[in-house]
Amino acid sequence: MNDHSAGPLPATPVADAARFARSEALRWRAHAMIPGGAHTYAKGDDQYPVLAPGFIRRGAGCRVWDVDGNEYVEYGMGNRAVGLGHCHPEVLAAARVALEFGCNFTRPSPLEAECAEMFLDSVPGAEMVKFCKDGSDATSGAVRLARAYTGRDMVAICSDHPFFSTDDWFIGTTPMTAGIPLAVRELTTGFRYGDLADAQAMFDRHPGRIAALILEPSRGEDPPPGYLAALRDMAHREGALFVLDEMITGFRWSRGGAQEVYGVVPDLATFGKALGNGFSVSALCGLREIMRLGGIEHRDRPRVFLLSTTHGAETHALAAATETMRIYRDEPVTARMHETGAALRRELEDVIAAHGLEDAVRIVGRDCCLAYQSLDGSGQPSQAFRSLLLQETIRRGVLAPSLVVSYAHGAEDIAATVAAFDGALGVYRKALDEGVGRYLVGRPSQVVFRSHNTAPADLP
């Protein structure tokens, strides 16, 4: 690994930039063909400092290599999709075997039933499941089902949670409303996490109109005791469904998701990300009484067109998901991730304290799903200081847009990460004293949801 934590660092921005020469050339080609230069906003150039790898060529375990050959300990692992580690051999073997028989047919594959059985065994509260390719389709399927089941139009989202879908019912609540009709935007409202009174006030403002509440069971910190069950009961009293978005928490909080940890059974739930260890597969699951509306057997209610996609049940993805779930069942995956994350938190907090930066850099979240906050001298969140911390950890061989660990992270990786942060925090300390502009190369990163772009000189 290009580990500069103990040795000298490149002396100039020019020397640093030379490390990413191939990334830079490819980046300008990509922007000419792809809006934003990438197919996921969170992976875009505006989310990273100028001195960052632009393209990852390969990964193994928790290590990745960019197109210039630089090696990193990676966190976030494909936006939390790769829970077991990159190229997990048993998952790859299952996918390869499935591909040898073909990946898509005109009738269902038996893998569809096998994967469904494994999933329903993993998530005890679910009675039926339907697979698709991404989280947005799953959450939008839940919204459609809820509207059909209740006969209502409005949807209530947790306003404290950052993302539910690429579809209009959610994106219309963000600053990026271009292309979304006002009539659609007005069909979604919001409530605050952990605040039952706020949720009740929302129902009172829209009596008899809300089809469903959708929220993540947790963003990292545990919910207030009894909150999720009380919110579900409130939804039911008001005639709405209770939907949990377990894209992040599913198979990370526990094999059965956060709903298992917190002891609440939702009407509908969505899973994805870690479900296939990076393969494209997600799931909408829930109570039979609701899910059956997307089937072909019932006659008492109108049919719901639910998650019908050409590639929704590709065999290799379902084989990968089935094997991934087997590993979560048979091995201590979630326990290991909690233990590794706890060790990482302890050691990083010690380093932060050693630099006197407790008021500027904070480790937050559940041990299995850590993040960090980067604050300026006045204690306010700062994209510039976040970019600086990313820049300096990248220089030391760690790619950490978050601190989300995988099953593959081990003691050696944690030690390398702590050493990289130790060096980076020394620069952070100087930047607080002397100004971040003296140490950050180029423009800071930006938030995804903004109504207009600026024009940073380093982007096409």
Give residue limits of the domains in the chain: 13-86+332-438, 104-313
What are the b/e assignments for 328-359, b being 16+ CB within 10 Å? beeeebbebbbebbebbbebbeebbeebebee
Site of tokens 């099953």: 407
Given a cut of 50, the residues of the chain with pLDDT beneath it are 1-8, 10-11
pLDDT recorded at residue 42: 84
What is the distance between the alpha carbons of residues 321 and 109, in angstroms, rounded to a whole number? 14
Sign of CA dihedral 22, 24, 29, 35: positive
Which regions of 153-312 does DSSP assign to beta strands (E)? 154-158, 188-191, 210-215, 241-246, 268-271, 282-286
Q: Are 269 and 257 in contact (CB under 8 A)?
A: yes
Against a cut of 0.75, is the pTM above it? yes
Q: Given this model, what pLDDT does residue 175 score? A: 93
Pairing of strands 71-74, 398-399: parallel
d(CA 393, CA 72): 10
pLDDT computed for residue 460 by the predictor = 54
pLDDT of residue 271: 98
Q: What is the pLDDT of residue 10?
A: 45
Which CATH number applies to 104-313: 3.30.1490.190, 3.40.50.1820, 3.40.640.10, 3.80.30.10? 3.40.640.10
Which residues make Cβ contacts (< 8 Å) with residue 445, sequence separation at least 6? Answer: 46, 47, 48, 49, 383, 386, 387, 390
CATH topology for 13-86+332-438 is: Aspartate Aminotransferase, domain 1 (3.90.1150)
For residue 215, give the DSSP letter. Answer: E
The pLDDT value recorded for residue 7 is: 39
| Contacts of residue 9, Cβ cutoff 8 Å, sequence gap at least 6 | 395, 396, 423
Q: What is the pLDDT of residue 1?
A: 40
pLDDT digits (tens, 9 = 90+) for 179-213: 999 999 999 999 999 999 999 999 999 999 999 99
pLDDT, tens digit (0-9, with 9 covering 90-100), for 59-117: 999 999 999 999 999 999 999 999 999 999 999 999 999 999 999 999 999 999 999 99
What distance in Å separates the CA atoms of residue 133 and residue 139, rounded to the nearest whole number? 12
State residue 18's pLDDT score.
Answer: 87
Chain length of the chain: 460
Helix (H) or strand (E) holding 433: helix 411-434
Count the neighbouring beta carbons within 10 Å of the beta carbon of residue 101. Answer: 12
- What phi, psi does 298 have (nearest 5°)? -75, 155
